[in-house]
Amino acid sequence: MKIFLTGANGFIGSALVKELLSAGHQVLGLTRSEEGGNALRDMGAEAFQGDLLDFDNLRKGVEQSDAVIHTAFNHDFSRFVQSCQEDRQVITVMGEVLIGSERPMIVTSSIGSSNTVPGTLPVENNPTASSSVFPRAASDEAALALAGKGVNVVMMRNPQIHNIVKQGLVSDLIKLARQKGRAAYVGEGANRWSATNLTDAVAVYRLALEHATSGAVFHAVDEEGVSMRQISDAIAAGLNVPSVSVSEEQAPEHFGWLIKFAGRELTASGKLTQERLGWKPSGSGLIADLNAMKY
């Protein structure tokens, strides 16, 4: 298949380009710069120049492809709600081009969108959260609306995707610990974040593409939960700074915008995804990657 890939130069996207090409697919990667285009061409992909919010141009990319994988997202958390609503628009624009066809589309979201049954580990079959409660669920809402119009759309919900260079929100915790001179966790640090190695994450995207069923929800989750105390301790060891507990009252001052996540339970199960797609994650775990990275 020829796949239109947004975020093709990003952390997940650039690894996904290699995964798709190695499986015999073609990739048309959306890129904003000539430098990004050259990087895609060097990998063997085709570059499609343009901005994510240039909707007329975006439609052209979708029109000349057999499938769409959407991994792009603006991670400026100072405008998080606005970014989520922009993502809703992008998904809607691309998906409407696919109405009346069987061409698959994979939409990226967060495992937080399935955290809707209190006291239980979120699973793929959980009802989707409302974007009024969890803004990132705007992506899921857009996908569900497209599924209702007959689009062959799949939702991929991601945890902290990591390797020895980058680790999702954990990378922001590392930056903060470097600035503050200490790594930290809230209270006892018992709240957990789920995680998956980058190599395993891109594999599940490919499997979902090749076995797409409209309305399907997948969790790209290997480790269901790594405690914030473990994460903080690993960061502290890497930076040679202390790992300390901060109270709930102290936490907003220490974490800044990260307080939205630092004390939260961001866990999920990926067992149904593994069973349905035959996905067998085998990459290194989050703590192993934090221990192996060059700080």
Domain parsing of the chain, residue ranges: 2-159+196-222, 162-194+224-268+283-292
Asked if residues 107 and 156 have their Cβ atoms less than 8 Å apart, the reply is: yes
d(CA 128, CA 137): 7
User: What's the Rg (C-alpha) of the chain?
Assistant: 19
- Residue 232 is predicted with a pLDDT of 98
- Residue 144 is predicted with a pLDDT of 95
Q: Over its length of 295 residues, how does the chain's per-residue pLDDT go in tens digits?
A: 999 999 999 999 999 999 999 999 999 999 999 999 999 999 999 999 999 999 999 999 999 999 999 999 998 888 999 999 999 999 999 999 999 999 999 999 999 999 888 889 999 999 999 999 999 999 999 999 999 999 999 999 999 999 999 999 999 999 999 999 999 999 999 999 999 999 999 999 999 999 978 999 999 999 999 999 999 999 999 999 999 999 999 999 999 999 989 999 999 999 999 999 999 999 999 999 999 999 9
Name 207's Cβ contacts closer than 8 Å, sequence gap at least 6. Answer: 277, 278, 279
d(CA 161, CA 196): 5
Which of 55-77 are b and which e, b meaning 16 or more Cβ less than 10 Å from the residue's Cβ? eeebeebbeebbbbbbbbbeeee
Q: Pick 162-194+224-268+283-292's CATH classification: 1.10.3470, 3.90.25, 3.40.1710, 3.10.450.
A: 3.90.25
Which of 164-192 are b and which e, b meaning 16 or more Cβ less than 10 Å from the residue's Cβ? eebbbbbbbbbebbeeeebbbbbeebebb
| Sheet of 67-70, strands arranged across | 46-49, 26-31, 2-6, 67-70, 104-110, 152-158, 217-219
Asked if residues 113 and 136 have their Cβ atoms less than 8 Å apart, the reply is: yes
- Residue 212 is predicted with a pLDDT of 76
d(CA 224, CA 267): 6
d(CA 122, CA 164): 27
Q: Please state the pTM of the whole predicted model.
A: 0.95
d(CA 215, CA 221): 19
Asked if residues 16 and 71 have their Cβ atoms less than 8 Å apart, the reply is: yes
Positions of E strands within the chain: 2-6, 26-31, 46-49, 67-70, 104-110, 152-158, 160-162, 183-186, 192-197, 217-219, 223-227, 243-246
- Residue 75 is predicted with a pLDDT of 85
CATH says 2-159+196-222 is which class? Answer: alpha beta
Q: In this structure, what is the dihedral angle of CA atoms 96, 127, 282, 258, given to the nearest 10 degrees?
A: 90
